[in-house]
Amino acid sequence: MDDKAQIQEAIKSQGEVVRKLKAEKASKDQIDEEVAKLLELKAKLGGDDGKHQFVLKTPKGTRDYNPKQMAIREKVFSTIIHCFKRHGAETIDTPVFELKETLTGKYGEDSKLIYDLKDQGGELLSLRYDLTVPFARYLAMNKITNIKRYHIAKVYRRDNPAMTRGRYREFYQCDFDIAGQYDAMIPDAECLKIVYEILRELDLGDFRIKVNDRRILDGMFAVCGVPDDKFRTICSTVDKLDKMPWEDVKKEMVNEKGLSEAAADQIGTYVSMQGGMDLAERLLQDPKMSQSKQACAGLTDIKLLFSYLQIFQITDKVVFDLSLARGLDYYTGVIYEALLTQAGVAPVVEAQNGAPGSTEESVSVGSVAGGGRYDGLVGMFDPKGRKVPCVGVSIGIERIFSIMEQKAEACAEKVRTTEVQVMVASAQKNLLEERLKLVTELWNAGIKAEVMYKKNPKLLSQLQHCEESGIPLVAILGEQELKDGVVKLRVVANREEVDISRGDLVEEIKRRTS
């Protein structure tokens, strides 16, 4: 069999794979992937007849942003950046890839999701997985011991994308971090204040911010009888409580991780607890919990944190929740996560019968921000292990984009994708040069203006363009206007027209569009 015949065979069998998946109503992602393979095969075959048979798609788990999506994205970024700046943050940027070894050993099990670059000679490189590790590398490399910075950039994870829920392989992170040796809980409280302000200003509906502390979790595990070497793995099981009912979490602890039933039940009692400063006080008196020095340190800090949150006037949305675990290895103190609780977005999970609720997935879908304290990470990069205490928060911007896009779809008002103030138009022929002269005057005066790239465009098509892209004014030129030294200024919304002397046009446009 020659190459061509082989490819034809492959196309045939791949075609059957696709048909079968469609018949089985497989997921769109899965079908798309197999269709892509089919198209690739067909492209190979079509290669010699001169036609270009590309697979026209973006890589799996990624997307283009069209102008409308970009307009929404810019609005969201602007709100967030404005908040970061209000709190005095600087910004930095780092390369999209790092030396592979910079990322090694920072993400535990998730390391398998890191994208590596092909070895083309030279250094081994990986795409950044988050912005926190590059930040720590930056601090250590430049010997910076205190900074308050934000960083908005894309990160990369070879995850199974669920794009409808705003989960991608390429996605934005939007991080605010405070590094430096400061008095306890003051920067931590400011991070929560920032989350509160951003979620309020983005107007995404009601939300709550869960708070816990790694030391409380570790102390809890210790007093519940979890062996030291099982803290991390049991912690990552607890982290699944936002996706799995308690019964399944317990099963995993007992059957898979070998924990005793008694220990698991004891953990179950604790992780169902939610409250505020009062809960921290109660647990400090708890006969079991108070035996752990670590837990007491964490609980004392939670109390202090809440006293600052009261001053910041944000305790209405913050809850101390012992089930919050968060996966990443590098957290050392306070951890937190913000969830949207509005109906239709993500229902609140109500604790029942003393065990955490079980509205599978709903809460994790609603997670829009998270972070915590990581006092050890910078030290991992310092040759002498010198530590720089850090606390930060990451805003889950993709999820927020998805919600804003849905909102924009639902809302009648059109999203403008340009800022053009005026279109220079003509109803008559042979006035291209005059239109170009006028638009030059406007550009030179700083007016945002457009002109059609045609010698003799129809007035209707010029007006239609204004309607479609929301341009509010049209400056119309004709033989008569040129003779009179005026321009006919038309308001697109109500079709009113008025002659403006050419010398006054710039001011008039500014006045009407300010």
- Closest approach, Cβ 187 to a second copy, in A, equals 5
Contact 322, 315 (CB under 8 A): no
Out of 53, 145, 358, 367, which residue is the one contacting a second copy (CB under 8 A)? 53
User: Which of these segments, 151-159, 288-296, 329-337, 367-375, binds a second copy (CB under 8 A)?
Assistant: 151-159
Partners of 500 in the beta sheet? 487
Please pick, from the candidates 260, 352, 406, 418, the single residue that binds a second copy as defined by CB under 8 A: 418
Pair 202, 400: CB distance under 8 Å? yes
* CA atoms of 49 and 54, how far apart (whole Å): 13
Tokens representing 260 are: 């005793």
Tell me which amino acid residue 496 is. E
223 vs 378, beta carbon nearer a second copy: 378
Least separation, in Å, of the C-beta of 248 and a second copy?
29
Binding to a second copy, residues 479-508 (CB under 8 A): none
Residue 495: HSE in the Cβ half-sphere, 13 Å Cα cutoff: 3
| SS3 at position 467 | helix
Is 512 near a second copy (CB under 8 A)? no
Residue 383 or 503 with smaller CB distance to a second copy: 383
Residue 66 or 255: the one with the smaller Cβ distance to a second copy is: 66
Check binding of 464 to a second copy (CB under 8 A): no
Rounded to a whole number of angstroms, the minimum distance from the CB of residue 273 to a second copy is 28
**Of 196 and 270, which CB lies nearer to a second copy in the complex structure?**
196
Of 510, 414, 484, 416, give the one whose Cα is nearest residue 476: 484
Q: Quote the distance between the C-alpha of residue 344 and its chain's center.
A: 20
Site string for a second copy, 423-462 (x = CB under 8 A): ---------xx--xx--x--xx-xxxxx--xxx-------
Is residue 97 within 8 A of residue 123, CB to CB? The reply is: no
Distance CA 303, CA 320 (A): 10
Q: Which residues of 443-477 are buried (b: 16+ CB within 10 A; e: fewer)?
A: eeeebebbbbeeeebeeeebbebbeeebbbbbbbb
Q: Which segment (219-227, 283-291, 307-315, 322-330) binds a second copy by CB under 8 A?
A: 307-315
Nearest CB to a second copy, comparing residues 73 and 488: 73
- Beta strands in 203-347, from DSSP E residues, in sequence order: 207-213, 274-275, 318-321, 334-340
Q: Least Å distance between CB 23 and a second copy?
A: 24
Residue 114 main-chain phi, psi, to 5 deg: -75, 135
Answer yes or no whether residue 85 interacts with a second copy by CB under 8 A: yes
Ordered DSSP codes for 420-463: --EEEEESSSS-HHHHHHHHHHHHHTT--EEE-SSSS--HHHHH
CB of 182 to a second copy, least distance (A): 4
420 binds a second copy (CB under 8 A): yes
Smallest gap from Cβ 178 to a second copy, in A, equals 7
Find the binding residues for a second copy in span 155-194 (CB under 8 A): 156, 158, 170, 178, 180, 182-183, 186-187, 190, 193
**Among 18, 41, 76, 89, which residue interacts with a second copy (rule: CB under 8 A)?**
89
Residue in 99, 152, 161 with CA at minimum distance from that of residue 130: 152
Q: Which residues lie closer than 8 Å to 443 by C-beta, 6 or more apart?
A: 449
Residue 162 Cβ vs a second copy, minimum distance, rounded to whole Å: 16
52 binds a second copy (CB under 8 A): yes
386 counts as binding a second copy under rule CB under 8 A: no
CB 209 within 8 A of CB 193: no
User: Nearer Cβ to a second copy, position 67 or 258?
Assistant: 67
Q: Compare residues 83 and 226 and give the one whose CB is closer to a second copy.
A: 83
> 201-240: which residues touch a second copy (CB under 8 A)?
none
Stretch that binds a second copy, among 109-117, 350-358, 367-375, 492-500 (CB under 8 A): 109-117
Q: Which is nearer to a second copy, 54 or 164 (CB)?
A: 54
514 binds a second copy (CB under 8 A): no
**Residue 118 or residue 495: which is nearer to a second copy going by CB?**
118
Of the CA atoms within 13 Å of residue 48, those in its CB half-sphere come to 3
Nearest to a second copy of 322, 449 (CB atom): 449
Q: Compute the half-sphere exposure of residue 403: CA atoms within 13 Å on the CB side of its CA.
A: 21
> What minimum distance in Å lies between the beta carbon of 433 and a second copy?
6
Among 71, 374, 319, 54, smallest CA distance to 207 is for 319
Instruction: Give the Cβ contact number of residue 355 at 10 Å.
Output: 18
